[in-house]
A and B are shown apart, each in its own frame.
Chain A
Amino acid sequence: MKWDEFFVTGEPMIYGAMASIVLATIAIIVGLTYFKKWGYLWREWLTTVDHKRIGVMYILSALIMLFRGGVDAIMMRLQTAVPENKFLDSQHYNEIFTTHGLIMILFMAMPFIIGIMNVVVPLQIGARDVAFPRLNAISFWLFFAGAMLLNLSFVIGGSPDAGWSAYFPLASIEFSPTVGNNYYSLALQISGIGTLLTGINFIVTILKMRAPGMKLMRMPMFTWSSLITSVIIAFAFPVLTVALALMMFDRLFGSQFFTMANGGMDMLWANLFWVWGHPEVYIVVLPAFGIFSEIISTFSKKNLYGYTSMVVSMVVISLLSFLVWAHHFYTMGQGAMVNGFFSITTMAISVPTGVKIFNWLFTMRKGKITFTTPMLYSLAFIPIFTIGGVTGVMLAMASADYQYHNTMFLVAHFHYVLIPGTVFAVIAGFHYWFPKVFGFKLNERLGKHAFWWIAVSFNVTFFPLFFLGLQGMTRRMYTYSEETGFGPLNLLSFAGALGLAFGFVILVYNIYYSIRYSPRETNGDPWDARTLEWATSSPIPAYNFAITPNVKARDALWSAKYDNLPIFEGKIEPIHLPSNSGKPVILGAIFFAFGFALVFSWWIPAIISGIGILIILASMSFDRDHGITVSVKEIMETEKKLRGETL
């Protein structure tokens, strides 16, 4: 490693990125010092173990990553907008599509989903926090360390450039000698550990921390989907952990797991990657289904149609999701028998998914639908996602897949699944639960403007890609000649991408606008909703519920409001809460240093930070922390203040 290779050089845009990183860092440090917010930041956010604040930090990071990944997307669409474009060179284009995929899936979709789970799940089951609050903070800081490590790669050392799936032998040290793919293995490993811990945390939380009366079959659908997602996380992520560790050994220590010589097998990487990768798709889409179920039911003023079939279909999806992975590499060389098997299992998944689509439609049937922003996203989701699903079944047919494998048709398909499935869901959930967390709604007029820009532009961006794929344009092409005829549709797609960007700008402006002008809610239930999280006041007190709720029906709050089945019957008692800890954030920082040292094979710093990690872990197991107890008097005062009464 020579020092002149340390910083990425030679491109004006990279220098711009470096300058903006330095300026932003200075601005943040100066701002925090000037406004004397360091103590506030440390006490209230960095050391917090409160599930709501951790959730907010997850969502904030996800929004920032959405813009980072979005800029990547715009640059890709700009580069391919016209034939023979010189905006990006091939290396830079490779790095951009790789990081776009990684960031959007692992550092945008996942943390957004996990952030919403963090905010909502403990409230929906009537718990005071997650089962292991400090572990939850560790999860967040490991995710954050991984995300920062991957983002740093753009200016230091070079980004991974072998695609988000990093297939071997291309990703091996022989064909990708830069540190880019070291970043891949380490950043994903660190944030992956965080995700695994989240999965375990939420399984335990949902199984053990439910309020009295909250039987499994009374749980809100979002909690159900979070439970099933957590189970998939707990069983799929270990495969990624192992695969990434083997990749790291190959790249850093010269082992031969995925090489083409000495008994190594390059295809085994693709195999292991997709054993994790396919369930991962369901990890990001099942909670999204849960979000849509909540929103559609709330704004149709009806209970969810086919509750039991919703649960069963999610369990079936979770099992089937482990049985389909070979459909990502039909063309790798396995026989017709194998491809036939995986074709059938893949098509089988569309059955439980179809059940869910029909359940949402029947939920709306004869409902009293109000067209709020979250409901608009949910309504747009159904037809757009169905296009994604139908093209998915087309891709599932192995023999036909030989025609459009790795073409833009595939790119269009998975964007048609993931954007309405996951992005629409998290934005809808963001609008829906925003008043719960902050105590005021996002502006509806601006929200609807953003929705129409996003929904229409999304189709303008990605529908042409189906045709481009069928005409033979492969994915990951950084340019093409004019004779191919790909030009006009790509230009149209670029126009759509600009519209999408504009929609997201309105969305962010809406956050600013609503912080300044939105009327503050005094009632914890602004949407006349059905589930338990709306039964407490907003913003939510640290202890969530002053009195432990007693659940008597499936839509607990609805039954309390309209069927005279009260939830809060006990009297206020002292509440025990976990105390804050600075160790998770320090652990995250050391993990970041550890990963960074390993990326550049700096063994001495790596060993030192490795020992640091062990010391923090050991000191955590010897912590004697009995938490804090909130007295009845304090609870009464907080409750009065939240109701807007003067003390």
Chain B
Amino acid sequence: MMKQLFPIRHVMGYLSSLILSALAVTALLDIPFAAKMAILTVTAIIQASLQLFVFMHISETADTKKELYLNIAYALFVGLVTIFGSMYIFVWGWYS
């Protein structure tokens, strides 16, 4: 009963994602660039896997597994195209 009222896994997941977001803000401190990137990369990877495992149930064996991975692939496609496309337009391919 208590477990139903208080889903510990999800509450902890929610709290840790808040903490991870706060940790990422430390990249604004006056520290070396490499340290900033390290903080961002590590918190981003943990954050993403947290979302995938706790909230999106990626580890569950279900008949929708194929669709889940297709969705993630599509999301990656759109995300990478947006980031690298913008870089292509504004940095690498910029007329100067």
- Contact across chains for B89 and A334 when beta carbons are under 8 A apart: yes
Query: A326 with B82: in contact, given A333-B94, A333-B95, A334-B93 (CB under 8 Å)?
Result: no
In the complex, A319 Cα to B75 Cα: how many Å?
11
Chain A residue with Cβ nearest B78: A235
CB < 8 Å neighbour of A334 from B78, B81, B95: B95
User: Interface 1/0s, chain A 323-348, versus B by CB < 8 A?
Assistant: 10110000001111110010000000
In the complex, A199 Cα to B41 Cα: how many Å?
30
- Contact across chains for B77 and A322 when beta carbons are under 8 A apart: yes
- Contact across chains for B64 and A338 when beta carbons are under 8 A apart: no
CB < 8 Å neighbour of A325 from B71, B85, B90: B85
B-facing residues in A223-246 (Cβ within 8 Å): 231, 235-236, 239
A-facing residues in B40-87 (Cβ within 8 Å): 64, 67, 71, 74-75, 77-78, 81-82, 85-86
In the complex, A323 Cα to B89 Cα: how many Å?
12
Query: A335 with B90: in contact, given A235-B78, A322-B77, A325-B85 (CB under 8 Å)?
Result: no
- Contact across chains for B81 and A335 when beta carbons are under 8 A apart: no
Q: Tell which of B64, B75, B88 has the most Cβ of chain A within 10 Å.
A: B88
Query: A323 with B81: in contact, given A207-B67, A235-B74 (CB under 8 Å)?
Result: yes
- Contact across chains for A231 and B93 when beta carbons are under 8 A apart: no
CB < 8 Å neighbour of B82 from A208, A239, A267, A337: A239
Q: Tell which of A265, A334, A336 has the most Cβ of chain B within 10 Å.
A: A334
What total of chain B residues lie within 8 Å of the partner, measured CB to CB? 17
Q: Is A408 an interface position by the 8 A CB rule?
A: no
Q: Is A271 an interface position by the 8 A CB rule?
A: yes
Q: Tell which of A235, A323, A341 has the most Cβ of chain B within 10 Å.
A: A235
- Contact across chains for A337 and B78 when beta carbons are under 8 A apart: no
Hey, which chain B residues are within 8 Å of A267, CB to CB? 90
In the assembled complex, how far is the CB of residue B23 from the closest CB belonging to chain A, in whole angstroms? 21
In the complex, A319 Cα to B88 Cα: how many Å?
18
In the assembled complex, how far is the CB of residue A428 from the closest CB belonging to chain B, in whole angstroms? 30
In the assembled complex, how far is the CB of residue A511 from the closest CB belonging to chain B, in whole angstroms? 40
Hey, which chain A residues are within 8 Å of B95, CB to CB? 333-336
In the complex, A271 Cα to B94 Cα: how many Å?
13
- Contact across chains for B85 and A326 when beta carbons are under 8 A apart: yes
Hey, which chain A residues are within 8 Å of B67, CB to CB? 207
Hey, which chain B residues are within 8 Å of A585, CB to CB? none
In the complex, A643 Cα to B66 Cα: how many Å?
43
CB < 8 Å neighbour of A231 from B74, B82, B89: B74
Q: Is A46 an interface position by the 8 A CB rule?
A: no
In the complex, A326 Cα to B71 Cα: how many Å?
25
Q: Is A96 an interface position by the 8 A CB rule?
A: no
In the assembled complex, how far is the CB of residue B93 from the closest CB belonging to chain A, in whole angstroms? 4
In the complex, A336 Cα to B95 Cα: how many Å?
8
- Hey, which bits of chain A sit against chain B, CB under 8 A? 207-208, 231, 235-236, 239, 265, 267-268, 271, 275, 319, 322-323, 325-326, 333-338, 341
- For this complex, 21 residue pairs linking A to B, each with C-beta atoms less than 8 Å apart, are A207-B64, A208-B64, A231-B74, A235-B75, A236-B78, A265-B90, A268-B86, A271-B89, A275-B82, A275-B85, A275-B86, A319-B77, A323-B85, A326-B89, A333-B95, A334-B89, A335-B94, A336-B95, A337-B93, A338-B93, A338-B94
4 smallest beta-carbon distances between A and B, as pairs: A338-B93, A335-B95, A235-B78, A335-B93
- Hey, which bits of chain B sit against chain A, CB under 8 A? 64, 67, 71, 74-75, 77-78, 81-82, 85-86, 88-90, 93-95
Knowing that A271-B86, A322-B81 touch, tell me 12 more A-B residue pairs with CB under 8 angstroms: A235-B78, A265-B90, A275-B86, A322-B78, A326-B89, A333-B94, A333-B95, A334-B89, A334-B90, A334-B95, A336-B95, A338-B89
